[in-house]
Chains A and B, each alone.
Chain A
Amino acid sequence: MIRKARHTLPKVCAWTKRGTNLPNTKHASPSSAVWTEILTDLHFWIPVIVLFAGLVVLHWIR
């Protein structure tokens, strides 16, 4: 799991830890790292596929 890797490499990935004095990497819009997490999340693709299927049905019945 990618998630576990983050916690087994604290020195390399220390910037991901909260409460450090390092610069805040979180903004009010998704950063590229967040996008990577979203696009590699299986849960994301389920609604995307259903959305496209719904558009196909709509195109057919309208």
Chain B
Amino acid sequence: MISTVSNKPPQSIESARLRKLQLLGILCGFGAGAWLGAAEAPTKLVKLGVSPLVVSLLMVVGVFFARWSLPALIRGTGQMRADIRQAPHLIVWGVLAGCLWAVANTLTIFAIRDIGLSIAFPLWNINSLLGIFWGYVLFNELRDAGKLRWFTVLGGALLMFTGATLLAIASSAQSPAAHSLRGILAALGAGVLWGTMYVPYRKAYLTGMNPLSFIAFFTIGELGMMLTLALAYGGGPAALAHQLELAKPVLFWLMLGGFVWVIGDLFQQYAAKYIGISRGIPLSNTNQLWGLLWGLLVFGELRGLSSSLYAEVIGGSLLMAAGAGAIALSSVTGQEHARWKQAAEREGQRYNVDADYVQAALSGNDASSASDPSGRTAPHSSRSWLDYLLVVVTTTIFITLAVLARAPNMSLNWPALLALAAAMLIFLIACGLALWRVTRFN
């Protein structure tokens, strides 16, 4: 247990522990891919006549409930308060990241409407390229990584770009020109926003923030921004209320989509924390393959197209996935990790964050047991009545909405849906157990 505070630089994490954390980050990256891929499926309901802004808003409401209830359930809000006392600046970064997420998510709704899920998905996944760029420029990632790792990362990036180009060509052939341009722009815009959103993520994790604390503040930004967008573009409060009334039958499905997204995003946050954004984000972008599977198998997208277009879509997706895999599997060397620590020290000094706290959090240990500046010690995973209240209220809301929900009038392939849901469950259990064993969610 760390009980003293100091300004000394973080000590190195022992290599065995580092390897374990990297494997954990890789597993979380794959888990994130499965869950993030599934979360976009409910947005197919856009075609049922619900406004894209309302779809996005309702997903964010689901996200909001999930982002407060899950941390309350896993660690308790007392731990969140302790984290924020150590690094209060991260409230601002969390809210900013949430705003970026909300705008990006809204853009994806428009992209799906105009060019379809299977095409839009890989296009906005260019965010991983941007993640690599920001990781290198701002946070010393890939510095001193050696030629082989640079080759792997750049080769992977090239593969991803080629794949995205193939998909863009396929989308042009599928949709009318005007819609296709708008859809491609929306998907690429979402990619840029999400790619930049990882700057606050990395900022937070370099200074030791626990993902479960970060996402709670993140969601304030996303709900605030989404509500503003819905009111501004939805015609005001009365029109928004009317739209929400129309969306009643699909309320549960959209909020469920948001909930699923949060689980995927949580795994993504752990991946970003333990293997960095330049590797963690491409890995979680395997969600494109899951999105493709949901689109093709469950929703029957791309039916009736020519075989050459099928080849372009599938080939493009596989190229992007191969590129992402190559990037992700270029492991972090000791020298590169030393550069990460320099970036962490820089952040710690700028924002006056305790070095022990940073070190404990980077190594997945109990960071909150480091005393805060006033000498108080954070409570140890004790849950208060507030935590139980958050969990009970969220559960009640979801059960109520599920009872009121109507199954969408769409043709779905149920066996495929169940198989994909089972795969998600396996990832949830595997990642959850691994996180508990290695870090106790610290």
Contact = CB atoms under 8 A, between A and B. Distances in A.
Given A18-B373, A30-B92, A61 B182 contact: yes
Interface residues of A, number: 34
Nearest to B134: A46
Interface string A27-62: 111110011011001011011101101110110011
Interface string A12-26: 000011110000111
B88 A29 contact: yes
A17 to B, nearest CB: 7
A54 B96 contact: no
A51 B6 CA distance: 36
A28 B88 contact: yes
Given A28-B85, A31-B88, A58-B106, A50 B100 contact: yes
B291 to A, nearest CB: 21
B276 to A, nearest CB: 15
A5 B106 CA distance: 44
Nearest to A19: B5
Interface stretch (B147-155, B185-193, B263-271, B403-411): B185-193
Given A19-B5, A37-B89, A61-B186, A54 B350 contact: no
A51 B96 contact: yes
Contacts of B354: 18
B346 A3 contact: yes
Contacts of A18: 5-7, 352, 354, 373
Contact of B110 (A16, A41, A44, A61): A61
Contact of A51 (B84, B100, B138, B186): B100
A38 to B, nearest CB: 5
Contacts of B53: 62
Contacts of B352: 16, 18, 26
Q: State the main secondary structure of chain A at its contact with B.
A: helix
A26 B350 contact: no
Contacts of A24: 372-374
A61 B185 contact: yes
Nearest to B355: A18
B58 interface: no
Contacts of B92: 30, 34-35, 38, 44
A34 B192 contact: no
A58 B52 CA distance: 12
B229 interface: yes
B335 interface: no
Contact of B85 (A6, A26, A35): A26
A31 B346 CA distance: 20
B104 interface: yes
Contacts of A55: 103
Nearest to B81: A28
B112 to A, nearest CB: 13
B88 A27 contact: yes
B99 A51 contact: yes
A58 B109 CA distance: 11
Contacts of B100: 47, 50-51, 54
Nearest to A7: B349
Contacts of B200: 47
A25 B374 CA distance: 8
B85 A54 contact: no
A62 B193 contact: no
Interface of A: 3, 6-7, 16-19, 24-31, 34-35, 37-38, 41, 43-44, 46-48, 50-51, 53-55, 57-58, 61-62
22 contacts: A18-B6, A19-B5, A26-B85, A26-B86, A26-B374, A29-B91, A34-B88, A38-B92, A38-B93, A44-B93, A46-B196, A47-B199, A51-B100, A53-B192, A54-B100, A54-B189, A54-B193, A55-B103, A57-B107, A57-B186, A58-B107, A58-B110
